[in-house]
Structures are given as C-alpha cells and as structure tokens.
Structure 1
Amino acid sequence: MGVAICSAGLALLEWTVPSLSCMSSPPNTASHPPLRLSLSMWALAAAAYLAGFFLRVTPGVLNAPLMRDFHLNAAQLGNLASFYFYFYAASQIPTGVANDRWGPKKLIVFGTFLTAMGTLLFAMAPTYAVALLARGMIGLGHGVAWVSLLEIAARWFAPRVFGTMSGLSLGAGTLGAVLAQAPLLAMSRWWGWRESLAGVGLVCLLLALLAWRVIRNSPHELGFRDYLPERVPSSLGQVLRGLRDVWGWRNTALLFVAPSGICGAFLTFTTLWGTPFLEQHRGMSGPQASWMIAAMLVAFSVGGMAWGRFSDRLHRRKLPYVVGGGMTLAGFALLSLWPQAPGVLLFGVLLASALGAGAMVVGFAWAKESVPQHLAGTATGVHNTGVMIGALVQLPLLGWVLDALWTGRALGGVRQYDEHAFQVAFGVLMVWVAVALACVLAARETHARPYANLVPARTEGAV
C-alpha cells in the first residue's frame, strides 16, 4: 500500500503542523491554493480509492483459501465477489447527489470508515453469511470513493489539469489492484489471509481519521480562492425527474449496456475467474498468475488514458470505443475457442484485450454529450452504474456455469474445473462483449460536442 503510506505521512505532517502548507504565503482569497496543499487533499482521497480497489480484487488471489475455509462452490465464490459490486453499483447515483449537498469530505470519511469496518469484519468472518455482509459493506464504502475523488480534483485543481488528475486518480486505483495480486498472495502465505486483510482494515481506519482531520471540501474553507463556483444542490424531486428524463435519449440505454460487457468481462476475469483458469489450465503458479492479472490491470489503466486522449484529439467517440471493444472481444473469443493457444499468443491477446477494455472511459464523456447539459451529471451516474452491472451479474453467473459442468474433482477441499467448463464460461463473456459492441455501433456519434438537440429519442429518428 505504497501510496497509502506516502499520503498518510504527508497528512500526518499536515496534522502536526496545520499551517505548514500556508507558511510560504498567508491565505489570500485572491489567490488559489498552493500546489502542495492541493496535492495533500488529493493524495488522501486517492489513497482511500486505492485501498478500496485493492479490496475489490482480493477474491481472485484468495480464491483457494476462501473456497476451503468457507466450503464454497464456484457459484458461492462468485456471489461473494459480486456482493461488492451490488452495493457499489447501488451507491453511484446517491453519491453524486450527496456530493452536491454535503461535499466530498464527509463521503470520503464515511466511505473509508465503512470500508475499514467491512474489511475487519471479513477478516474475522466465521461464516459465509457474515463474509457476504462484509463484502457488501466494503462495496458500499468504496462506492463513494471515485466520484468524491473526482470532486476533490475538480475543486482543488485548475480545470486545465482535470484530465491529468483524472488519469492519475485511475492510476492510483490500478496500483491498488496490482498490490492485491502477488504482494497480497505473499502476505497471505506469510501471515495468513485473515491477518493480512485485518492489516488493510487498520490502514483504512487510519486513512479515515486522517481524511477527517485534513481534507477540506473547497479551498475557500482555508481562505483561498475556489476554482469552481458554488453550486445549488438539486432537490430530491429534480433528481428523480432527471433519472426519468435521461432515459428518453437513446444513447443512455446503449451506453449503459456497452461497458457492462466490454468492461464487465474484463472485471470478471481479473477480479476472480482469471487466476484459477491460469493456474489450473495454463500451468502457472499462484505468483505467476497474479503477475499476469496485474499486467492486465496496468494495460487497462494505460488503455484508459490513451483511448481518452485519442478520442479527444480525433473528436470521435464511437471509433475508439469500437476498436477497443473489438480487441476485448478477440481476447474472450480466444479464451473460449482456443484456451490452449501458445502461451505467447494467449498472453499477448489477453494484454491487448485489457488495453482495449480501457476504451470504456470514452463512454463517460460520450454519455454526458448525448443528453442536454442539465442531465449530464445524471447521465454520468447512470453510465457508471452500467459499468458495474456486468461484473455483478457475470461473477456469480460464471460460477453457476462452472458448477453445472463440474466433474466432481477436488484438490485440498477446493473444486477443480476442467477446460471445457472454463470454455463455456468464457463463451458467456464473449457473447456479452459482442452484444455490448453492437450497442456501441448503434449509438449516435457526438463528435466530442455537447448535445444540442433536446428532442427525446422517441422522436429523434434513426441516426
């Protein structure tokens, strides 16, 4: 948890000497905050996001001890992993509303504290039911992190660097997922998986305490000039009307489905089912499989930044998304149709598939540009929910498929699934990605410009 440690040290310094960031020049409402102060706010929020991302992917690395200790089959393990996504997805739209009303600080403190409690509960869970509850708490707690982190970046940094800070924020999350691969596997073997996760829970508690002490919603709270004007929070009625109205534009539904396949399949593979496949049918050791998954996570992060920049420069949304989605489809087609492909080919295609899945970030801008400006925030929340829908359905669905095709073989109390079972399971993902790609092709191109036509989809005609 390198970023967490670094940000914790920086925040502790701020706590010990609260005025340190302002010593070079006194607070002045005519000036924006110094970079060091802005970075301290962002670093703590990014550390909380990193910790939650770490916990998101732990079931894949710990699949064998979890199946053994809780006596799970594949469907139950998939459900355990997906409980995180159930609560994460449910929190997205309320988080946007809460950020407008209360600001990001309270959400980061609450979310990180809830994540810590869920992690500690999971580490001590005596039964499968308690473990499910704990995963739900982690998902709900981390569900507020991304939107709140972007809100911190928007409020504490100049608009011209918001894209850069968004990329760095995504990179922080990816680092958390990478640390949850081989490093977590090594920790679990040295100290045990329960003890390792308990340590992560304590780190989250420290982060929540530091966030409460250090983070401020806006620069003006410390006497500096804000980058953003004050916003009037939306009423509950306005939010509900926005949720109803946003579905009147065709792209909303199409771009809701698209990431559920293109990103959802990637999340399902890297969160849970990729590791056992690589170990059982590609002859990889646990650390080797973990590093392969880590490489895919890095490729996804790099792809997100590259596709986003390419889309902006090209002034096109559809083309980058289609190309990236096609790369992802090729990866899952190979897993389903030729799982014993030569190692260099398979692993190269998997990395390319992960790189292509990063094109899903284009969908956030595309969704906002597909509706009138007053619905842009709602469209973003709906789109982010679609990102998670795929994983929360696919994780247990693939487990059910694997159990249905299980031949009865087990090793050390852990079920072993033959190659055919994995082929069928990955075939489900292949079909889902293909449907998602068709939705991208059917969506209206916005040419990277806000949507000016206010006529809903039912009367706008085919495009």
Structure 2
Amino acid sequence: MDKQNSKFRWMVFASVLFTYFLMASQRTAPGLITDQVMSDFNVTAATIGLLTSIQFFVYTGLQIPMGILADRYGPNFFLIIGAVLTGLGTIIYSLGTHEFVLFFARILTGTGDATIWVNMVLILGQWFKVKEFVRLIGLAGMTGSLGFLLATVPFSSLIDLIGWRSAFFSAGLLLCLCGILLYFVLIKKPTQHFLNEKVSLPNEIDREKTVVLLRRIFSDRQAWSLFFCHFGVVGAYVGFIGSWAVPYGMDVYGMTRSEVSELIMIGLIGALIGSPLTSWISSKLGTIKRPYVVVHITILLGWSTFLLYNGNPPKYMLIMLFFIIGFGYGASALTFALVRQSFPLSESGVVSGLANTGGFLSAVLLPSIFGIILEQYQTASGSSGNGYYYGFITPVIFSMIGLIGILFIKERYLQKKQIMR
C-alpha cells in the first residue's frame, strides 16, 4: 500500500499536529504565572527574564543542527523524543522547588520544542503528495498560533481552577502520552503495514557537502536579510507575550490574569488572521516584498505607540495594538515564502533554519533585556511604571532591524534567478 494514498496518513497528520498544538502552548504558558513564580521562589524580574529566554535560546541554537540531523537520520525518532522531552520538562517545572530546577526544566522543554517544526515538515512531506502538502502546511502553521491561543484564557482558567503546578503537570503528562502515541503512529503501525515501502527524503544534504553548504549560506547577503527580517517580526511579539505581557497588564492597568489573557488572545486572533490573509494578498499582487514591508512598518508603528503614550495607551488602543502586533506575527510566514522563492530546494531547509534562528534569537533577547530594564527602574523609583516605558524601546529597535532586513531583500533579482533555474 502506498503511504501517500492511504487513509492512515490522516491519522499521522492529526497526531503530529495535535502534538505541535500542545508543544506550542508551552512556549508562552509560563508567562501566565510570572508573578506567582516571582512570589513563590522569591526571584527578581531579571531572573524571570532569563528563565523565559533560556527556552528560546536552546530552541534557537538547535534549529540548524536539527534540520541537518533530520535530513540524515529521519524525522520520526526526533519528533517522538522531542514530545517526551517537552513533557518531562513541563512536569519537572511543575514540581520545582528551586530556581535552578526551573532553569533545568525550561532547558529540557526548549530542547524538545526545537524538534517539532523541521521534523513535522519532513514527516508531512513523506505522507502527503505535493499538492496536499502545500495546502496542509498552512494548517500546520496556524496550529502553532492555536497553541499560543490555548495558553491564554483556557490555560489561565485551568490555573485558577486547580493551581499552576497541577495545570503544568497535567500538560506535561499529556505531552508524554503524545510521545507514546507518535511511536505507534509513526513507527509501529507503518512498519506493519508498509513493509516493502522505503521512503527517501527529498533534498537530503550530503554529509560531505554540509560544511560547504553552510559556508555558502552564511556568506549570502540574501540569507542574512531573511534572518534580520524574521528577527524583527517574531521575537518582539513572542518574547513579550511569553514573559511580560501579564505583569504589564496587571501592574499598569490593574487587570486580572484572566483579563490580560483575553487581551493576549486578541493578539493571537490577529496572528490567526494574519497568516492566510497576507499570503493571499501576496499571491494576488504577485509580490511578497511589498506587502511584507507594509507589515513591518505597521509593527514598528504599533510598538512605537507604546512610547508615544508613555507606556500607557488607552485601553481601546491597547486592544488594537495587541491585534496589530499579533497580525504581524502571523504574517511572518511570508519569510519562508521568500526563502522558497530565493533559494533552491536543496538549500531551503538550512536557510529556513537560519531565518527561524533570527526570529527566536530576538525572543531570547527581549525578555532578559526587558527584565533588566524593569528591575533597574523599579529599584530606582520603587514603581515599575517607568520601567515598562523604557522597556518598550527594545521591541521598537527590534522592529527597526526587521524593517531594514526586508528592505534589503532583492526580490526582482530572485525572480530572475528562479526563472533561470
């Protein structure tokens, strides 16, 4: 039986995406309990920023190596191990009694999380034909935003109901069970039903050529433009939502945790709309760069508005800003559309890893920088209000870097280059 024509492929699709859905939720879920962790463990704002950053740091550092490993040894094993590691990290986080345990837990979670995207793409490429794959990869991208959405009102309500430790323990246990499910779906059942079929991964990177390929990519100005483009549009949003959005809403506006979760959810709705809408606009206009430039300018204006209102814009405007910034994050899928347009398929995996590294590097940097600024002004004045104002300078600078990156994209040259190929 052919894998790509079997009904079983839909079981693979559902299992992999459900796992991604849960794993994505654990990227930002700790941001819901920032104040509680600071109180329970008696840690500073800078420590919380570092705690948030460590997961993204591990995720970022493993993107390119994970792509190379998955190409060489296959994606199934790494995805299963990733789900289990994320689950174990979340469970340990829920049982932690010291800040060092929390750091270890987030390192495990980041390691597991780093496996999901590259391996998920390769697995779907094995089980689905090209036309199906193009349609389904869009749904896969939206699944990540749905995971972030889970880590807002639903997970916040669960925390209020059973406590943060029980909520995170339950999520970790469910992820470990997903790892077991993936073993049966990706390895055991296919071995029984597709004994005579050997699936070869397209675009495998030859071991002898890996160093040469990396050297060429890292010396390509276009690749670095994509890196900085993604740096500016992803990390400011993910880093802020995953660390300081809840304390900001509670400290500056006197909101409850549930109310801030609703605000974050508005941003995630913007992300869900932004991905398909900007892709559709780009296809209609026949250009990726121009609408993406508009997105970057809009994001820059959005973050700058926080500075314009001294870190405290009116609530109605705050809702609009969260939606706009979330919309821009959803539009970040255009980065990978540019990768596919710019580079041959044999190089697009590594370039995608480099671009994704840029996005999450900014997610690593922002929570720590924001936390250090917040702690400095809180120490000086006893109030964190001014700290938030100066903290918003960081996403503004990141957005400027992203705008410079997209402006340096050479789309005309790439279109000619693509036609020649």
TM-score by shorter chain over 0.5? yes
- Cα 1:369/1:221, change in 2 over 3 Å: farther
Please, which of 132, 136, 140 is the counterpart of residue 111 of structure 2?
140
Specify the code of the residue in structure 1 equivalent to 2:90: T
For residues 408 and 11 of structure 2, the distance between their equivalents in structure 1, rounded to whole angstroms, comes to 43
In the TM superposition, residue 451 of structure 1 has moved relative to its aligned partner by 3.5
1:65-84 map, 5 Å: 65-84=36-55
In the TM superposition, residue 427 of structure 1 has moved relative to its aligned partner by 1.4
Specify the code of the residue in structure 2 equivalent to 1:288: E
Please, which of 251, 256, 275 is the counterpart of residue 304 of structure 1?
275
1:6-85 map, 5 Å: 28-29=1-2, 32-35=4-7, 37-85=8-56
- Cα 1:406/1:254, change in 2 over 3 Å: same
For residues 166 and 404 of structure 1, the distance between their equivalents in structure 2, rounded to whole angstroms, comes to 43
Does 2:346 align with 1:374?
A: yes
- Cα 1:208/1:229, change in 2 over 3 Å: closer
1:442-461 map, 5 Å: 442-446=408-412, 449=415, 451-452=417-418
Q: Residues 48 and 108 of structure 1 are in contact (CA less than 8 Å); yes or no, is this contact kept in structure 2? A: no
Q: Residues 59 and 66 of structure 1 are in contact (CA less than 8 Å); yes or no, is this contact kept in structure 2? A: no
Deviations 1:350-397 (A, max 9, x none): 212221232221111213433354322211111111111101011111
In the TM superposition, residue 62 of structure 1 has moved relative to its aligned partner by 0.7
Specify the code of the residue in structure 1 equivalent to 2:393: G
In the TM superposition, residue 230 of structure 1 has moved relative to its aligned partner by 4.7
Q: What is the aligned partner in structure 2 of residue 202 from structure 1?
A: 173
For residues 224 and 32 of structure 1, the distance between their equivalents in structure 2, rounded to whole angstroms, comes to 15
Q: Residues 266 and 322 of structure 2 are in contact (CA less than 8 Å); yes or no, is this contact kept in structure 1? A: no
Specify the code of the residue in structure 2 equivalent to 1:55: Q
Please, which of 166, 177, 190 is the counterpart of residue 161 of structure 2?
190
For residues 232 and 428 of structure 1, the distance between their equivalents in structure 2, rounded to whole angstroms, comes to 38
Q: What is the aligned partner in structure 1 of residue 367 from structure 2?
A: 395
In the TM superposition, residue 74 of structure 1 has moved relative to its aligned partner by 1.3
1:248-287 map, 5 Å: 248-287=219-258
Q: Residues 156 and 227 of structure 1 are in contact (CA less than 8 Å); yes or no, is this contact kept in structure 2? A: no
Deviations 1:267-287 (A, max 9, x none): 122111122112221232211
Specify the code of the residue in structure 1 equivalent to 2:138: G
Please, which of 324, 328, 331 is the counterpart of residue 352 of structure 1?
324
Please, which of 67, 70, 79 is the counterpart of residue 99 of structure 1?
70
Q: Residues 58 and 114 of structure 2 are in contact (CA less than 8 Å); yes or no, is this contact kept in structure 1? A: yes
Q: What 5-or-longer segments of structure 1 have no aligned partner?
A: 1-27, 411-415, 455-463
- Cα 1:280/1:192, change in 2 over 3 Å: same
**Bigger helix fraction:** 2
Please, which of 289, 293, 313 is the counterpart of residue 341 of structure 1?
313
In the TM superposition, residue 219 of structure 1 has moved relative to its aligned partner by 7.2
For residues 198 and 403 of structure 2, the distance between their equivalents in structure 1, rounded to whole angstroms, comes to 38
Q: What 5-or-longer segments of structure 2 have no aligned partner?
A: none
Over the residues paired in the alignment, what is the CA RMSD in angstroms? 2.6
Q: Residues 86 and 392 of structure 1 are in contact (CA less than 8 Å); yes or no, is this contact kept in structure 2? A: yes
1:394-433 map, 5 Å: 394-407=366-379, 417-418=384-385, 420-433=386-399
Q: Residues 152 and 217 of structure 1 are in contact (CA less than 8 Å); yes or no, is this contact kept in structure 2? A: no
Between stretches 136-145 and 441-450, larger displacement belongs to: 441-450
In the TM superposition, residue 216 of structure 1 has moved relative to its aligned partner by 4.5
- Cα 1:337/1:218, change in 2 over 3 Å: farther
- The one of the two structures with greater contact order (alpha-carbon pairs below 8 A, sep at least 6) is 2
Q: Residues 94 and 166 of structure 2 are in contact (CA less than 8 Å); yes or no, is this contact kept in structure 1? A: yes
For residues 179 and 453 of structure 1, the distance between their equivalents in structure 2, rounded to whole angstroms, comes to 42
Q: Secondary structure at the match of 2:300?
A: helix
Q: Residues 71 and 201 of structure 2 are in contact (CA less than 8 Å); yes or no, is this contact kept in structure 1? A: no
- Cα 1:218/1:230, change in 2 over 3 Å: farther
1:179-258 map, 5 Å: 179-216=150-187, 222-223=193-194, 230-231=201-202, 233-258=204-229
Q: Secondary structure at the match of 1:234?
A: coil
Between stretches 182-191 and 243-252, larger displacement belongs to: 182-191
For residues 12 and 6 of structure 2, the distance between their equivalents in structure 1, rounded to whole angstroms, comes to 11
Q: Residues 219 and 226 of structure 1 are in contact (CA less than 8 Å); yes or no, is this contact kept in structure 2? A: no
Q: Residues 330 and 349 of structure 1 are in contact (CA less than 8 Å); yes or no, is this contact kept in structure 2? A: no
Specify the code of the residue in structure 1 equivalent to 2:289: K
Q: Residues 70 and 78 of structure 2 are in contact (CA less than 8 Å); yes or no, is this contact kept in structure 1? A: yes
Between stretches 436-445 and 225-234, larger displacement belongs to: 225-234
In the TM superposition, residue 443 of structure 1 has moved relative to its aligned partner by 1.7
Q: Secondary structure at the match of 1:131?
A: helix
Deviations 1:194-218 (A, max 9, x none): 1111111110111111111112499
TM-score, normalised with respect to structure 1: 0.84
4+ long deviations beyond 6 Å = 217-221, 224-228
Q: Residues 113 and 141 of structure 1 are in contact (CA less than 8 Å); yes or no, is this contact kept in structure 2? A: yes
- Cα 1:450/1:146, change in 2 over 3 Å: farther
In the TM superposition, residue 447 of structure 1 has moved relative to its aligned partner by 8.0
Specify the code of the residue in structure 2 equivalent to 1:386: G
For residues 101 and 222 of structure 1, the distance between their equivalents in structure 2, rounded to whole angstroms, comes to 24
- Cα 1:283/1:48, change in 2 over 3 Å: same
- Cα 1:233/1:445, change in 2 over 3 Å: closer
TM-score, normalised with respect to structure 2: 0.92
- Cα 1:450/1:247, change in 2 over 3 Å: farther
For these two proteins, the number of residue pairs brought into alignment is 419
In the TM superposition, residue 254 of structure 1 has moved relative to its aligned partner by 1.4
For residues 350 and 276 of structure 2, the distance between their equivalents in structure 1, rounded to whole angstroms, comes to 23
Q: What is the aligned partner in structure 2 of residue 157 from structure 1?
A: 128
Deviations 1:313-362 (A, max 9, x none): 32312112111111211210111221333322231132122212322211
Specify the code of the residue in structure 2 equivalent to 1:426: F
In the TM superposition, residue 233 of structure 1 has moved relative to its aligned partner by 4.1
For residues 130 and 259 of structure 1, the distance between their equivalents in structure 2, rounded to whole angstroms, comes to 32
- Cα 1:225/1:360, change in 2 over 3 Å: farther
- Cα 1:100/1:336, change in 2 over 3 Å: same
Deviations 1:19-40 (A, max 9, x none): xxxxxxxxx34x84334x2121
Specify the code of the residue in structure 2 equivalent to 1:393: L
Specify the code of the residue in structure 1 equivalent to 2:61: A
Q: Residues 328 and 354 of structure 1 are in contact (CA less than 8 Å); yes or no, is this contact kept in structure 2? A: no
1:310-329 map, 5 Å: 310-329=281-300
Larger Rg, first or second structure (1 or 2): 1
In the TM superposition, residue 170 of structure 1 has moved relative to its aligned partner by 2.0
Q: What is the aligned partner in structure 2 of residue 361 from structure 1?
A: 333
